[in-house]
C-alpha cells in the first residue's frame, strides 16, 4: 500500500526517519534541515516539470487583437518616429504591436506611444522611402503570458464555442518561428497557425538588419529583456484556447502542500532519499533501493497520465536555456530515464 503524506512537514519527517538521521525533522540541526528541504524541493521541481500532469494543467481563452489597416502613417527615412493619421485612434496598447508599412517587407515593433499626437516610436529607424501618407498593417504578434504559466501544451482555435483540434497550432522554437514569419505572407488566414514562446535578448553584434528585431532588443533596454511572451502567426482575428502547465511554487512553510495528489506525494521523499544516499552518504545500494521505490510510484503516475489526452512538451524557453539532448534536460524533464 502506498504511503500517504499530506504536508511539507509530513514529507520532511518521512525523509528524516527513512534516512535514519533523526527521530523527526525538528530534531535535525539547521544545516541538515536546509539540506533536506532543498532535496525535497529539487525532486518536486523534477517531477512536476517532467510532464504537464493533470494537476498542473490549465486552460485559458485568448482573443487576438484585430489587424488595423485604416488610415495612413507618415514615415521618414532614417527616423524612428511615425505619425498615424487622424483616422486612427492611437491607444496606449499600441506599444508592443508591430507594423508593416506599404509594400515593405520589414517589421518594426512599436516601442513608444504618444496617444495625443498619434506619434509612435519604432524599434529601429525606418529604412524605407519617406511617405507622408503610407498604407500600413498594424497588428499584435505577441501576447503576455499569465502569471502562473510555466510551459505550453496546446493552442487550439475555437469555432462556435468549441475547440477545433484538427487546426491545432504548430508550436515552434524561436529559431524555426522567426524564419517562417519572414518567409510567409501575413494575409489570407482566418486564424493563427503557428506559435512560439520567447523573450528578448540584448544584441551587441554587427548590424544584421531587421530580421532579428522580434527576438533581439536593439535599444538595449533591460526592462524588456527576458520577458517571455506568446507569439502568434499570422496576425488574424481569432479566439484560441491555450492549454498550458502552471508553475509550481517551492515548499517553504511546514504546512505547505504539493500540488501532487496526496496518494502520490511520498514520491518526493523517495527521490530526495535517492539523491541523499547518492550524493551525501555515498551509499549506492541505498540510493538504488530508493530509486526503485521512486520508479514504482512514478510508473503509477505515468500510467494515470497516459490515460489522458495531454502531451508532454518542453517550452521553447527551456529548450533554449538547457539545450535539447543535454543531460540537464533529461534529468529535469524525464528523471525516470536517469539510471
pLDDT tens per residue across span 99-124: 999 988 788 889 899 999 999 999 88
Regarding whether 241 and 153 lie in a shared domain, the answer is yes
Inside any domain, residue 270: yes
Please report which confidence band the pLDDT of residue 333 belongs to, taking 50, 70 and 90 as the band edges.
very low
Per-position DSSP letters for 138-202, written without gaps between them: EE--EEEPPTTEEEEEEEEEEETTEE-GGGPPEE--HHHHHHHHHHS-SSS-SS--EEEEE-BEE
- pTM higher than 0.85: no
Regarding whether 238 and 148 lie in a shared domain, the answer is yes
The conformational region for residue 130 under phi > 0 = left, psi -120 to 50 = alpha, else beta, is beta
Inside any domain, residue 323: no
Last residue of a domain, one of 226, 245, 264: 245
Choice among 66-70, 221-225, 260-264, 293-297 with the minimum mean pLDDT: 221-225
Share of the chain above pLDDT 70, in %: 80
What pLDDT score was predicted for residue 200?
A: 63
Regarding whether 236 and 153 lie in a shared domain, the answer is yes
Inside any domain, residue 126: yes
Regarding whether 157 and 188 lie in a shared domain, the answer is yes
Please report which confidence band the pLDDT of residue 310 belongs to, taking 50, 70 and 90 as the band edges.
very low
Task: Answer for the pair 16, 22: CB distance below 8 angstroms, yes or no.
Answer: yes
Inside any domain, residue 326: no
Residue 153 is part of which domain span? 58-64+142-245
Write the pLDDT tens digit of every residue in 215-255.
454 445 555 545 788 999 988 889 999 999 999 999 999 99
Inside any domain, residue 93: yes
Regarding whether 217 and 157 lie in a shared domain, the answer is yes
Q: What total of structural domains would you count in the chain?
A: 3
Regarding whether 220 and 158 lie in a shared domain, the answer is yes
Please report which confidence band the pLDDT of residue 198 belongs to, taking 50, 70 and 90 as the band edges.
confident
Regarding whether 209 and 174 lie in a shared domain, the answer is yes
Inside any domain, residue 169: yes
What pLDDT score was predicted for residue 106?
A: 82
Count the helices and strands in the chain (H runs, E runs).
7, 17
Inside any domain, residue 339: no
Regarding whether 214 and 168 lie in a shared domain, the answer is yes
Task: Answer for the pair 259, 167: CB distance below 8 angstroms, yes or no.
Answer: no
Inside any domain, residue 233: yes
Regarding whether 115 and 29 lie in a shared domain, the answer is no
What pLDDT score was predicted for residue 303?
A: 85
Choice among 182-196, 259-273, 306-320 with the minimum mean pLDDT: 306-320
Higher-scoring residue by pLDDT: 336, 116? 116
Regarding whether 178 and 119 lie in a shared domain, the answer is no
Amino acid at each position: 500500500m502506498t504511503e500517504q503524506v499530506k504536508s511539507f512537514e509530513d514529507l520532511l519527517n518521512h525523509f528524516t526517519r527513512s534516512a535514519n538521521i533523526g527521530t523527526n525533522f525538528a530534531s535535525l540541526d539547521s544545516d541538515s534541515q536546509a539540506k533536506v528541504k532543498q532535496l525535497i524541493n529539487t525532486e518536486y521541481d523534477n517531477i512536476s516539470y517532467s510532464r504537464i500532469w493533470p494537476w498542473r494543467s490549465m486552460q485559458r481563452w485568448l482573443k487576438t487583437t484585430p489587424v488595423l489597416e485604416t488610415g495612413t502613417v507618415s514615415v521618414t527615412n532614417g527616423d524612428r518616429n511615425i505619425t498615424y493619421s487622424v483616422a486612427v485612434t492611437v491607444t496606449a496598447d499600441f506599444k508592443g504591436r508591430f507594423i508593416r508599412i506599404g509594400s515593405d517587407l520589414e517589421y518594426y515593433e512599436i516601442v513608444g506611444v504618444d496617444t495625443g499626437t498619434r506619434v509612435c516610436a519604432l524599434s529601429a529607424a525606418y529604412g524605407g522611402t519617406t511617405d507622408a501618407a503610407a498604407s500600413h498593417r498594424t497588428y499584435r504578434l505577441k501576447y503576455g503570458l499569465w502569471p502562473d504559466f510555466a510551459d505550453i501544451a496546446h493552442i487550439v482555435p475555437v469555432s462556435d464555442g468549441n475547440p477545433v483540434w484538427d487546426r491545432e497550432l504548430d508550436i515552434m522554437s524561436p529559431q524555426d518561428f522567426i524564419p517562417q514569419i519572414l518567409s510567409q505572407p501575413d494575409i489570407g488566414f482566418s486564424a493563427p497557425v503557428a506559435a512560439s514562446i520567447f523573450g528578448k535578448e540584448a544584441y551587441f553584434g554587427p548590424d544584421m538588419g531587421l530580421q532579428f528585431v522580434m527576438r533581439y532588443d536593439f535599444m538595449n533596454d533591460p526592462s524588456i529583456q527576458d520577458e517571455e511572451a506568446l507569439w502568434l502567426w499570422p496576425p488574424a482575428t481569432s479566439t484560441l484556447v491555450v492549454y498550458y502547465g502552471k508553475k509550481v511554487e517551492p515548499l517553504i512553510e511546514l504546512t505547505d502542500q504539493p500540488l501532487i495528489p496526496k496518494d502520490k506525494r511520498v514520491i518526493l521523499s523517495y527521490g530526495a532519499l535517492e539523491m541523499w544516499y547518492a550524493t551525501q552518504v555515498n551509499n549506492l545500494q541505498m540510493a538504488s533501493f530508493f530509486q526503485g521505490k521512486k520508479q514504482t510510484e512514478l510508473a503509477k503516475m505515468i500510467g494515470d497520465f497516459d490515460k489522458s489526452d495531454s502531451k508532454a512538451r518542453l517550452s521553447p524557453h527551456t529548450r533554449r536555456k538547457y539545450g535539447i539532448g543535454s543531460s540537464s534536460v533529461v534529468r529535469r524533464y524525464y528523471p525516470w530515464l536517469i539510471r
